[in-house]
Amino acid sequence: MLFEFENYDRENPKVYEMYKKYAREALAAGMKTLSISMLTERIRWEYQMHTNKTHSGGYKIANAHRAFYVRKLLAEEEFENRFVIKKSVADKKDFENNLDEFLVNENS
């Protein structure tokens, strides 16, 4: 799952930029806690509305990638403590230091 996410993220850098854009908009509107599901659905909706393309013709954001995207957002100072997350395999990725490998210590 990690390698699939890393490949997708590398090949589709605009997706992460959209996550940041919509997260900033939600915070500016007064939201205190954000939802990665809400942001993902907004990206899907906005893309389809502005391009008239279905998912088969546009960004396909796998639901499994949401756990990685939320942790990537949380690694940025402006989004610290803005999401409630559940334990996930994505916790093994060190987004803060942008490492491409799983962390050695899985207990942290």
Structure confidence by residue, pLDDT tens digits, 22-58:
999 999 999 999 999 999 999 988 877 766 555 555 5
The residue whose two tokens read 């990206």 is 43
- The end-to-end CA distance of the chain, in Å, is 20
CA 52 – CA 19 distance, rounded (Å): 20
How does pLDDT run across 73-97, given as a tens digit for each residue?
999 999 999 998 877 777 777 776 6
- Do 4 and 98 touch, CB atoms closer than 8 A? no
